């Protein structure tokens, strides 16, 4: 039992820590809200990695690359199949029911496969990028600066959205399927009403930098866009209803080629040629930086993040709540963390988690560090797990070159 005197001491310490927080902040390195292991949890690779997608039930991982679409068991990380393609595949998507997979090639051909039979069931020409509506009934594709709408069942064109003045680079549907967002080389993001195929929004980006990636939040209320090359590569957050910018996430040093919200909408992952960054959406603070390249995808349960890598492997990171300053590991830094540190005040020992700055003793500096992150949602990456059969680097066309069709 904690005596009244101890409770008073704890209360005073918490008040003191609050005052110190107002007077000083920890350094940027200390502000990272994620514990990053030296290596990813697993590496998978066959040929190059262009884009990654999970099946809706989270049981399979599909990887588009130089030899087709590789399929992996997401639990034991074993290879379970290959959907061969005559040309290099650069993007893919999975149907909501998990029965169909779609991919686009570098020669602008578009393929549909039945996942159970692994047989091709459809093909379109001149598709540069694409997105499916959540119900999988409508397909949006782009050819140069035009956006075409297709009926998936009949594979017939049913509409067109026109307005961009340069190549469309990325497409995404809102969760209700009523709105389509398109990002373009012309430096804009446009919003389209799918029913009447009319533009209902224009989000101009400063300096006219090309916008290379776009993603709706799970609730459809927010939009994330990635832009830039080596100059000013940033992620912008937009309120969909007001069409106003509400956030600017800076830190990348190369073009942001992929953005993805976690299933609960609390976190955003952004990928570039120089690594993967994780952001807390509410605070708009970076909470972690991971090894990786380009494409990013969260598992349906939000516990895993998959990314590409320069050596042709997939990197899988197991995510969870917690950090050094989230002492009670409930996913948010709050007064309960301060109370827990204060209850261990003056003590030392490796078994005590109140020593958040790892200086060997629990004192007011630990309270300050916890207080400086007050209100933050945090995540952590689990210790690495290696899958030996997939650890060898894979060049652009490696030992699987013979599998390619002539």
The pLDDT of 330-335, averaged and rounded, is 75
The pLDDT of 216-235, averaged and rounded, is 89
pLDDT at 348 over 70: yes
Q: What one-character-per-residue DSSP string does 156-198 give?
A: EEEEEE---SS-EEEEEE-TTSSEEEEEETTSEEEEEETTTTE
The pLDDT of 27-39, averaged and rounded, is 44
> Is pLDDT larger for residue 214 or for residue 347?
214
Distance, in Å, from the CA atom of 267 to the CA atom of 285, rounded to the nearest integer, reads 10
Question: For residue 335, what pLDDT is reported?
Answer: 83
Residues 6+ apart with CB under 8 A from 15: none
Question: For residue 295, what pLDDT is reported?
Answer: 85
The most distant pair of C-alpha atoms in the chain lies apart, rounded to whole Å, by: 81
State the pLDDT confidence band at 395, using cuts at 50, 70 and 90.
very low
CA-based nearest residue to 187, from 145, 218, 244: 145
> Is pLDDT larger for residue 268 or for residue 25?
268
Of the listed ranges 277-286, 321-330, 368-377, 379-388, the least confidently predicted one is: 379-388
Interval 249-271: pLDDT, tens: 998 988 898 999 999 999 999 99
Question: For residue 331, what pLDDT is reported?
Answer: 64
State the pLDDT confidence band at 393, using cuts at 50, 70 and 90.
very low
Question: For residue 49, what pLDDT is reported?
Answer: 74
Coil, helix or strand at residue 5: helix
pLDDT at 330 over 60: yes
Q: In what order do the strands lie in the sheet with 100-105?
A: 89-94, 100-105, 110-114, 119-124
State the pLDDT confidence band at 358, using cuts at 50, 70 and 90.
low
Coil, helix or strand at residue 369: helix
Cβ atoms within 10 A of the Cβ of 143, count? 17
Distance, in Å, from the CA atom of 274 to the CA atom of 237, rounded to the nearest integer, reads 21
pLDDT at 200 over 90: yes
pLDDT at 400 over 90: no
Of the listed ranges 109-118, 168-177, 214-223, 378-387, the least confidently predicted one is: 378-387
Question: For residue 25, what pLDDT is reported?
Answer: 42
Provide the residue count of the chain.
406
Distance, in Å, from the CA atom of 135 to the CA atom of 177, rounded to the nearest integer, reads 7
Q: Which residues of 220-244 are buried (b: 16+ CB within 10 A; e: fewer)?
A: bebbbbbbbeeeebbbbbbebeeee
Coil, helix or strand at residue 303: coil
Question: For residue 40, what pLDDT is reported?
Answer: 64
Distance, in Å, from the CA atom of 396 to the CA atom of 315, rounded to the nearest integer, reads 17
CB 259 within 8 A of CB 268: yes
Question: For residue 17, what pLDDT is reported?
Answer: 56
CB 157 within 8 A of CB 198: no
CB 308 within 8 A of CB 271: yes
Of the listed ranges 17-31, 241-255, 329-343, the least confidently predicted one is: 17-31
Q: What is the DSSP code (8-state) at residue 355? A: -
Domain ranges of the chain: 9-14+23-33+324-379, 42-318
Tell me the percentage of the chain whose pLDDT exceeds 90. Answer: 30
State the pLDDT confidence band at 350, using cuts at 50, 70 and 90.
low
CB 296 within 8 A of CB 288: no
Tell me the percentage of the chain whose pLDDT exceeds 70. Answer: 76
Question: For residue 230, what pLDDT is reported?
Answer: 63
pLDDT at 26 over 80: no
pLDDT at 125 over 90: no
The pLDDT of 366-375, averaged and rounded, is 78
Domain at 9-14+23-33+324-379: CATH architecture: Orthogonal Bundle (1.10)
> Is pLDDT larger for residue 177 or for residue 354?
177
| Partners of 68 in beta bridges | 65, 84
State the pLDDT confidence band at 220, using cuts at 50, 70 and 90.
very high
CATH class of 42-318: mainly beta
CA-based nearest residue to 325, from 315, 336, 316: 336
Of the listed ranges 54-63, 192-201, 219-228, the least confidently predicted one is: 54-63
Query: Tokens representing 387?
Result: 């899958």
């Amino acid at each position: 039992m904690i005596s009244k005197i101890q409770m008073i001491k704890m209360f005073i310490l918490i008040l003191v820590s609050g005052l110190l927080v107002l007077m000083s902040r920890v350094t940027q390195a200390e502000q990272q809200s994620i514990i990053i292991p030296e290596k990813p949890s697993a590496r998978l690779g066959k040929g190059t990695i262009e884009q990654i997608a999970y099946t809706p039930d989270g049981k399979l991982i599909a990887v588009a690359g130089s030899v087709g679409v590789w399929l992996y068991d997401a639990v034991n990380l074993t290879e379970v199949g290959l959907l061969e393609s005559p040309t290099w595949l650069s993007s893919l998507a999975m149907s909501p029911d998990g029965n169909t997979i779609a991919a686009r090639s570098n020669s602008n051909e578009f393929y549909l496969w039945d996942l159970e039979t692994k047989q091709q069931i459809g093909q379109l020409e001149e598709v540069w990028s694409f997105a499916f509506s959540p119900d999988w009934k409508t397909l949006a594709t782009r050819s140069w600066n035009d956006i075409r709408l297709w009926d998936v069942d009949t594979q017939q064109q049913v509409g067109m959205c026109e307005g961009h003045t340069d190549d469309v680079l990325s497409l995404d549907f809102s969760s209700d399927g009523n709105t389509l967002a398109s990002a373009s080389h012309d430096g804009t993001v446009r919003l389209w009403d799918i029913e009447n195929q009319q533009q209902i929004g224009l989000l101009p980006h400063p300096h006219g930098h090309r916008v290379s990636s776009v993603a709706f939040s799970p609730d459809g209320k927010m939009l994330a866009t990635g832009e830039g090359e080596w100059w000013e590569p940033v992620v912008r957050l937009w309120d969909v209803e007001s069409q106003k910018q509400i956030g600017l996430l800076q830190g990348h040093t190369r073009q942001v080629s992929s953005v993805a919200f976690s299933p609960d909408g609390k976190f955003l992952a952004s990928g570039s040629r120089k690594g993967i960054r994780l952001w807390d959406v509410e605070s708009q603070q970076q909470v972690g930086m991971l090894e990786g390249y380009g494409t990013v995808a969260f598992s349906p349960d939000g516990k895993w993040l998959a990314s590409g890598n320069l050596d042709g492997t997939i990197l899988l990171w197991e995510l969870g709540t917690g950090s050094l300053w989230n002492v009670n590991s409930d996913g948010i830094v709050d007064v309960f963390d301060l109370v827990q540190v204060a209850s261990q005040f003056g003590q030392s020992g490796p078994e005590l988690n109140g020593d958040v700055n790892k200086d060997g003793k629990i004192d007011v500096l630990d309270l300050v560090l916890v207080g400086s992150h007050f209100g933050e949602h945090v995540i952590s990456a689990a210790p690495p797990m290696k899958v030996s059969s997939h650890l060898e680097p894979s060049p652009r066309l490696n030992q699987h070159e013979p599998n390619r069709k002539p």
